[in-house]
Amino acid sequence: MIELLLPPLFAGLAVALVSGPMGAFVVWRRMAFFGDTLAHGALLGAALGLALDISLYLAVVAVCLGLAGALTALQHQQQLASDTLLGIVAHTTLALGVIAISLQEGIQVDLFAYLFGDLLAVGWQDALALWAGAILILLLMLWQWRSLLSITVSEELAQVEGVAVQRTRLLLMLLLALLIAGAIRTVGVLLITSLLVIPAASARRLTHTPAQMAAVASVLGTLSVLAGLAVSWFANTPVGPSIVVAASSVFVLTLLRKPA
Amino acid sequence: MSEPLVNVQAVSVTLGGNSVLSEVSLTLAPGRITTLIGPNGAGKSTLARVVLGLVTPSSGSVNRRKGLRVGYMPQHIKIDDSLPLTVDRFLWLAAPGPTSARRAALEQAGVAHLRRRAVQQLSGGEMQRVLLARALLRKPDLLVLDEPAQGVDVAGQNALYGLLKSVRDDLGCAILLISHDLHLVMAATDEVICLQRHVCCSGSPESVSRDPAYHELFGPGGGTPNLALYTHDHDHDHDLHGDAQPGHQHDGNCHHD
C-alpha cells in the first residue's frame, strides 16, 4: 500500500522545495495577492486546456503569463490601487474558469480536485515532470539570484547599477507561473498561495539572510508536505488542506520563538 | 576638459500632465562637483533622475558615456521588514567581492560599526551613510547624491563635504549634489545650477550667490546677507514658496551667466 504514496510524496516534495525560495520572493515583494490571482487564472487555463485538448500545464502557464502581462500593463494606470485590480482580475478569471469547466460536454471534471488539489492521484510521470520543473526553476533562480534580490531591495538602485530590471521582473513572473501550473495538481488553485506564503513567513523569524530564509522555507514546506500526507493517510482527510494546516501549525510554532 | 560623462540637452519632463522641467541643459565632467539648488518642487530630484536614466524626458536628449558606472544615494529607501538583510549583504548586492572592500567603504562613510546590523534597524541618517557607502563601493565614474546633508548638523556637513572632495580627488569622478540651500555647499562645489523648473542661473558658487535670480528664488535671507540686491527684470513672479506662478512661459531671458 505504501508504494501508492511514493509518487504523491515525491511530487509534493518537489513543489515544497521550489516554493521555499519562490515564496520568499512573494513575501518580500508583497506579491501574495498577485500569486493568488495567477492561481485563480490557472483554473481558467486548465479549462481552456481541456476544451482545446492541449497539455494542461502548457495552457495554465500560457494563461498565467497572459495574466501577468495584463496586470503589469493595468498597474501603469494609477487611479485604482493594485489590490483592487487584482481583486477584479482574480475573481473574474475564477468565475470564467468555473463556467468554462461546467460547459465541457461529455467530460466529467472534478472541480474540487482543481480547487483543492488531488495529490494522491499523481502518478510517477507527473512526479518526474514536477521534479524536472522544480530543478529548472531552482537553477534559474540561483543563476539570477543577485539580480532578483537587487530588484526586490530597490528597483531604482538596481536599475542605476545596471541590472536589467524589466527582464528580471519578467523572469520572476515566468517562474511563478511555472510553479503555479505545477502546483495546481498538489494543493489546488485555492491553496497554492498558502504553500508559497506560509513556509516563507515561518522562516522569517528563524533566519538572518535572504538565502537562509529561502532555504529554511524549503525545509519547512517539505516538513508540511510530509506531515500533511501522513495526516491525510491516517485520518483520511483531504490532502491539500491537510498540507496547508500542517504549514500553518509550523507557523504558529515559530511564533513562540523570539524574532531573530 | 575631458569628454563629458553625461550630457543633458534641452530636456523637458512632464509628469501627470504637469510640466516639471523645461528646456534644461546640464553637462557633467569627470572631476567636477556640480550642485543643484532650488526650492521644493523645483525639479531637482527629477533632473537627477533624468541624469540617472530613471525618468525618460518628454523632449530633449540625454547622452551617457558608454559603460558609465554610477553610484546613487537616494534620500531614503524603504526595505520591507520581511527581508532579513544586513548592511553587509545590502552592500554585497551592489558589488560582490571580498568583505574587506565593503568594510572599507563603510569606514569611508563613517559607519563601519553598522556592518552587521539589519538594514531595517537603521535610523534615517544611518541609512543615508550606508547608501553612501554602497555608492562608493562601486568606484563610480559619477556619484549622484540626493540631499546628502539633510538632517546632518553643521560639523557633520563639513565632514561630509570634505569626504566628497577627497572621493572626487581619489576616483576622479563627477559628483552631482542636490541641495536646497547654498550656504554649506559653496566651498565644495565647482558649479552651481539654480533650478526652478528651468535653469535660472548657473556658474561658480560666488557668481551664483551674487546673481539676482538666486535672490529672487531664495529671498534676501537666502543669499549672503552682506551682498547688495540687484534689481533685475524677470519675466515671471514667484510665490512665497518660490513656486513659479502658473502661466509662466520661459523664454530664455532669465539665464544669467
pLDDT of residue B175: 93
Closest to A177 (Cα-Cα) out of A93, A83, A67, A95: A67
Using CA atoms in the order A110, A114, A116, A119, what is the torsion angle rounded to 10 degrees?
Answer: 90
pLDDT of residue B255: 42
Longest Cα pair distance anywhere in chain B, in angstroms? 58
**Quick one: CA dihedral B84, B123, B168, B101, positive or negative?**
negative
Distance from CA of B49 to the nearest CA of A (A): 10
Indicate the DSSP class of residue A145: H
The complex's ipTM works out to: 0.85
In the predicted model, residues of chain A with pLDDT beneath 50 are none
Closest to B119 (Cα-Cα) out of B72, B92, B79, B68: B79
Distance from CA of A191 to the nearest CA of B (A): 21
Give the cell for residue A181: 501550473
Q: Is B117 part of the contact surface with chain A (CB cutoff 8 Å)?
A: no
* Residue pointed to by grid coordinates 520572493: A25
What's the Cα-to-Cα distance from A99 to each of A71, A85, A105, A107, A248, rounded to whole Å? 22, 21, 12, 14, 31
Q: Is B86 part of the contact surface with chain A (CB cutoff 8 Å)?
A: yes
Q: Is B140 part of the contact surface with chain A (CB cutoff 8 Å)?
A: no
Report which secondary-structure segment, H or E, holds B201: strand B198-203
Q: What is the pLDDT of residues A196-252, one digit of tens each?
A: 999 999 999 999 999 999 999 999 999 999 999 999 989 999 888 999 999 999 999
Q: Is A150 part of the contact surface with chain B (CB cutoff 8 Å)?
A: yes
Q: Cβ of A152 and B89 within 8 Å?
A: no
**Quick one: CA dihedral B200, B206, B212, B214, positive or negative?**
positive
Output helix, strand, coil percentages for chain B, rounded to the nearest 5. Answer: 30, 25, 45
pLDDT of residue B206: 77
Bridge partners, residue B242, by sequence: none
Residue B181 three-state SS:
coil
Give the cell for residue A180: 503555479
Residue B145 three-state SS:
strand
User: How many contacts (CB atoms, under 8 Å) link A and B?
Assistant: 61
* Angle, alpha carbons B248-B254-B255 (nearest 5°): 135
pLDDT of residue B257: 36
Residue of B nearest to A202 (CA): B82
Q: Consecutive sets of 10 residues in chain B, 257 residues long: mean pLDDT of each?
A: 83 87 91 88 90 91 91 90 94 91 92 93 88 93 88 76 87 88 71 87 80 73 39 42 42 42
* Angle, alpha carbons A68-A71-A74 (nearest 5°): 155
Q: Is A248 part of the contact surface with chain B (CB cutoff 8 Å)?
A: no
pLDDT of residue A68: 83
Q: What is the pLDDT of residues A111-130, one digit of tens each?
A: 788 888 888 888 898 899 89
Q: What is the spatial distance between Cα B200 and Cα B186, in angstroms, rounded to a whole number?
A: 17
Q: Is A205 part of the contact surface with chain B (CB cutoff 8 Å)?
A: no
pLDDT of residue A1: 65
pLDDT of residue A156: 92
Residue of A nearest to B79 (CA): A153
Q: What is the spatial distance between Cα B186 and Cα B210, in angstroms, rounded to a whole number?
A: 12
Compute the radius of gyration of chain A from its Cα atoms.
18
Determine the residue type at B199.
V
Q: Cβ of B74 and A209 within 8 Å?
A: no
pLDDT of residue A51: 83
